[in-house]
Structure 1
Amino acid sequence: MQFDTQKKVEAVWDAQRVSNRSKNNMNDNDDSSDRGDLAPLPSRATRNIPKRSRASSRGAILAHLPSDNHTRVIQYESKLEQRVLWLFLANKDVVDIREQPVPVFYTDHLGRRKSHVFDFWVQLRSGRRLAVAVKPAKHALKRNFARELRHVRRSMRKTFADDVVLITDQDFQRGEAINAQRYCEFSWHRCRQTEIELRELLASVELPARISALCDQLAKGGKGFRAVFLAIYDGLLVADLTRPIGMDTLVTVGGAA
């Protein structure tokens, strides 16, 4: 339930806060903001997420959205929703995410009055708002879910969202979600000094090159790998994001370099 999930997330946050302070004391170059020392804002879901079952994976993520001044709890009801959530959180065009927003009432193809709760409500930097439904492709096809969403869209108020989006497991690669999750996690503890040294290195190194070669020249261990990884999402480097990024990943110069 939502209450239980909130308590679990706060316990994780408390452990992370102690760990973060320890890391900060050991290394003054880590750019860890005060957001790790603030209690996370609660989930904004309009309904409680059911208890965990063997058939699905439910939980919550601590996220820092541009629309909030510090971390917030965002819940998900399945592994697919979790992966989609990571992709949204890693997308710099996304400024706000709400899970399980207010229901939309509509009339289906048989004339029955029903309600639908979208999995996510997403706002982009442009101001565009999206009502997002997440479903496994085989379930969406079997239920003719696209037809249901068309009826929902007809009844949806423009004050709620500008458009409806259906995302299935066929719309992205698993590697993209893995990379998005790692980017979000690495972003919490940037080492600015290592990033400066990487920029200096990129001014003279020959590209394309494997990440392992850049890490060897940086000689920063894990901090070097994280700096290169973040540089890909920051636009300094370009890599194939559809496959999990590792030491053998080939990178080339990006448009922000």
Structure 2
Amino acid sequence: MSAVGQLVTTTGARRVVFQSMIELHAALRLFSDPSVETLIDQPPAITYTRNGRQHRHTFDFLAVLRSGERVAVACKASMRAELKDLAGFYRSIAHQIPRSFATRIVIFTELSFSKADIYNAGLLHDCRRDPVGEADAAVAACAGGLYGRTTLGAIVEATGLGGDGFRAAIRALGDRTLVPVQAGRWDYETRVAPPANREVAA
């Protein structure tokens, strides 16, 4: 599905342009990944030589990870990616891509995301628009004392902050302060646990 629009980052209020629904979903997924520090849309084109001729290619995004690694991101409909053998094309030119630009290439198609993935990434992006405050501190206190598993609803109830508590709990999931222990959309029934290195009881 074709779409053109902009996402505003929740830190720095920077505008990231997307040109398809796949790009939108990829951007939301990358924003939700705590290992991603910066997402650059339409990065500078790279130059490669094929069959004796020089060409230019522009990736859809460049993700800069907190580790310093730079990942080139391509977004394409699965049928077109398969028809054009996009993975084979990138393998054939990978050695010509400067390591200062990227050390890895990732291809996203519509098959890369479940409906729950898309919903959760969008919900997290929306909740991160709120300023961090009392609700986040309350959720952090609950998470810090959590051993074993509970539901988001139980955590929200413990904070006594209703919708604000729920939105803070979603941010805690995004920050990995809480970890979902089941697949599916995040809601009040979602079962969560502390990070694996803290969980001591089921």
Q: Provide the C-alpha distance between the structure 2 equivalents of 1:173 and 1:155, rounded to a whole number of angstroms.
A: 33
1:160 paired residue among 101, 104, 109: 101
User: How many residue pairs align between the two structures?
Assistant: 198
The one-letter code of the counterpart of 1:100 is: Q
Structure-2 residue corresponding to 1:105: 47
Task: Report the Cα offset of residue 63 of structure 1.
Answer: 0.9
Structure-1 residue corresponding to 2:190: 249
CA 1:133/1:199 → structure 2, altered by over 3 Å: closer, same or farther? closer
1:87 paired residue among 29, 39, 44: 29
The one-letter code of the counterpart of 2:85 is: N
Moved more, 187-196 or 117-126: 187-196
Q: Provide the C-alpha distance between the structure 2 equivalents of 1:148 and 1:204, rounded to a whole number of angstroms.
A: 50
Q: Provide the C-alpha distance between the structure 1 equivalents of 2:182 and 2:76, rounded to a whole number of angstroms.
A: 22
Secondary structure in structure 2 of the residue aligned to 1:170: helix
Superposition pairs of residues 9-158 of structure 1, within 5 angstroms: 55-64=1-10, 70-108=12-50, 113-158=54-99
Q: Provide the C-alpha distance between the structure 1 equivalents of 2:114 and 2:67, rounded to a whole number of angstroms.
A: 26
Higher share in strand? 2
Identical aligned pairs, as a percentage?
24
CA 1:191/1:115 → structure 2, altered by over 3 Å: closer, same or farther? closer
Q: Which has the higher contact order (CA 8 A, sep 6+)?
A: 2
Structure-2 residue corresponding to 1:222: 163
Judge conservation of contact 2:22–2:108 (CA < 8 Å) in 1: no
Secondary structure in structure 2 of the residue aligned to 1:88: helix
The structure with the larger Rg is 1
Q: Provide the C-alpha distance between the structure 2 equivalents of 1:253 and 1:60, rounded to a whole number of angstroms.
A: 34
Judge conservation of contact 2:63–2:70 (CA < 8 Å) in 1: yes
CA 1:214/1:149 → structure 2, altered by over 3 Å: closer, same or farther? same
Judge conservation of contact 1:121–1:131 (CA < 8 Å) in 2: yes
Q: Provide the C-alpha distance between the structure 1 equivalents of 2:162 and 2:35, rounded to a whole number of angstroms.
A: 31
CA 1:256/1:85 → structure 2, altered by over 3 Å: closer, same or farther? farther
TM-score, structure 1 length as denominator?
A: 0.67
CA 1:98/1:197 → structure 2, altered by over 3 Å: closer, same or farther? closer
Secondary structure in structure 1 of the residue aligned to 2:31: helix
Judge conservation of contact 1:210–1:247 (CA < 8 Å) in 2: yes
The one-letter code of the counterpart of 2:37 is: V
Judge conservation of contact 1:58–1:78 (CA < 8 Å) in 2: yes
Uncovered stretches (5+) of structure 1, i.e. residues with no partner: 1-54
Structure-2 residue corresponding to 1:24: none
Q: Provide the C-alpha distance between the structure 1 equivalents of 2:101 and 2:38, rounded to a whole number of angstroms.
A: 14
CA 1:98/1:191 → structure 2, altered by over 3 Å: closer, same or farther? closer
Secondary structure in structure 2 of the residue aligned to 1:247: coil
